[in-house]
Structure 1
Amino acid sequence: MSPRAPKPFQHPDRAFTVSEACGHGISRRRLRALDFDKPFHGIRVAARELTFLDDLCRAFLPRLPQGAVFSHVTAAALFRIPLPLRLSTSRELHVSVPATRRAVDAKGIVGHKASLCGDDWDNRFGFAVTTPERTWCDLASLLTLPELVAAGDKLIARRLPQSSRAALERAVSIYPSRRGIRNLRRALGLLSDRAESPRESLLRVAIVLAGLPEPTVNMRVFSAKGKFLARVDLCYPHLKLSLEYQGDHHRTDQRQWRKDITRTRALQTDGWTELQYTQSDLDDPTRFLEELRVMLTRLAH
């Protein structure tokens, strides 16, 4: 009896292994053709630009070990948790496997071993990812304290929250790793659900860690007659002092620039003092913190 002919193997709308294709009678030479992309060793996918992170994750699924989950930086990026530039520009995928197994060792993969329970998994993207709460805990080993607070602020933000302070507290209380646990506990006390940008969070945390009074976050300011004047990033209401972080878009967007000037003028007319900050102040906060300390003392007297 002649051997059974292999089943047809067309370009599937998913990634597949070389061995899977060979099992369908496709030669290795054929798999080296230009109509296949090779995102990872032993993996092929119909040629297209893998521009999105979830596409890259799906491309690795055929090699994802049983019980493994995308985690750390990869999970953070999927949940749009803010990350510093040194991490956000990486194309490597972070994969965690159960602690009893060997960490994934492959080009383009950062392997981790972790103790995971059922509550640590999230399947909203169509594949296993650590939950926002577990992801925040895992990031503690990679982020500074201010960066960790900025990430947590984003998760509990009143606008489109993905978690809550209580959920993060619970996650920290049961987190099985000791890596970064001290910063996690410190970060819990610094979180604000009113923060609306990572830079605002970094500015606020720098102020608090310097021993200065914690400013109020994103407060609406009204005149004595009840007229709305502005919504300020950070402020000390009793001193009529506002602190504004100015990103590059405030400079390059003409409409935003004009709006900022009008807002600042309205505050000044009502007796407010406004201090403005940029990325250079976050890069080296020593000078601005001393200037703020002097300003607080002056206005208090």
Structure 2
Amino acid sequence: MARRSTPLPEPFPGKSFSVATARGHGIPRRRTRGRDLIQPHRGVRAPAGVVFSFARECATLFLVLPSCSAFSHVTAARLHDLPLPLALQNDDFFDVIVPRGVRAPRRKRVRGHQSALGEKDVDKRTKVRATTPERTFCDLATMLTLGQLVAVGDELLARGGPPARKRLETAVRQHPSRRHRRVLCRALDLLDRRAESPKESELRVLLIEAGFSAPAVNHVVRTTDGAFVARVDLAYPQLKIAIEYEGDHHRENKDQWRKDLKRRRRLEALGWLYLAVTQADLDDPTDLIADLRAAVARRS
């Protein structure tokens, strides 16, 4: 019969804790290796069978991080539920930033960063220390494309309205790294709080960077007597060109697929040219750009 582990004293039962803290409370090293405990990170123990949310795993890791550190970059974006590319949404690493003069942590599954970091850069609303959404936006300039960065900024504007833009402008102006200042300033110029999806933001930036004028965002199309027809992601109303990003759900959901067909038919009946865009077009926009240029030339 397997020997049962000695019950842990308060306040350890049911909680994650650092081995160093346990030793400080007189718990022997052998007990921290008990079968009722797991090691989610080096130097940390947690109850076996615990289900970790992302925030809880961050809190567990923070037990062995410098108290002056904070989660940043992709990790902070995930904590703030900001839009990220799929590969980064499932990232298995943790970004941790420390102030200058403090050694960046070197641990398994940790990307350490060192930069100027004040308490104003740390969000007090999160359950763990993380950089503010505005500081996170700036730090992500090192990891995202311009379109992906704008998608993050669009989301922040949609959440916070006009004050959010001022906070972003201040964050960019005060960000310690000048290396990516140009990209951040360009991203600020391209932000639009009317955007309703990250892919729509990426598509808008792609078109503008390709030399097209800024399209209207979520443009409402009506009949001559004012009846609602559709609201399209991006549009050049004077040319009657509608550009729509279509994710996989548009083809996988039968009802959505039927609605899309009806919507497109009604737009084309009113003389609109409809350009459907998928992720493949964002990955390689060569044909999309050529098709749109041809469409603009025909309609001009």
Shorter chain as normaliser: what TM range? over 0.9
Structure 2 residue 294 is matched with structure 1 residue 294: yes
The unaligned stretches of length 5 or more in structure 2 are: 1-7
Structure 2 residue 35 is matched with structure 1 residue 34: yes
Q: Alignment identity in percent? A: 47
TM-score w.r.t. the length of structure 2 is 0.92
CA contact (8 A) 2:137 2:153 kept: yes
What displacement does 1:198 show?
1.0
- The total of aligned residue pairs comes to 292
**1:56 aligned residue:** 57
Structure 2 residue 95 is matched with structure 1 residue 94: yes
For 2:26 and 2:52, locate their aligned partners in 1 and report how far apart those are by CA, in whole Å.
Answer: 30
**2:5 aligned residue:** none
TM-score w.r.t. the length of structure 1 is 0.92
Aligned residue runs from structure 1 range 1-301, under 5 A: 8-9=9-10, 11-157=12-158, 160-161=159-160, 164-300=164-300
Write out per-residue CA displacement over residues 255-288 of structure 1, whole angstroms, 9 at most, x where no aligned residue: 1111111211221222211110101000001111
For 1:11 and 1:48, locate their aligned partners in 2 and report how far apart those are by CA, in whole Å.
Answer: 16
For 1:118 and 1:31, locate their aligned partners in 2 and report how far apart those are by CA, in whole Å.
Answer: 34
CA contact (8 A) 1:9 1:26 kept: no
CA contact (8 A) 1:251 1:257 kept: yes
Write out per-residue CA displacement over residues 196-226 of structure 1, whole angstroms, 9 at most, x where no aligned residue: 1111111111111111121111111111100
- Structure 2 counterpart of 1:99, which letter? R
What displacement does 1:49 show?
4.4
CA contact (8 A) 1:145 1:187 kept: yes
The two structures, once aligned, show a CA RMSD in angstroms of: 1.7
Which stretch shifts more, 171-180 or 127-136? 171-180
For 1:23 and 1:115, locate their aligned partners in 2 and report how far apart those are by CA, in whole Å.
Answer: 32
CA contact (8 A) 2:85 2:148 kept: yes
What displacement does 1:85 show?
2.9
The unaligned stretches of length 5 or more in structure 1 are: 1-6
Runs of 4+ in structure 1 off by over 6 angstroms are none
Change (3 A) 1:295 1:51: farther
CA contact (8 A) 2:218 2:231 kept: yes
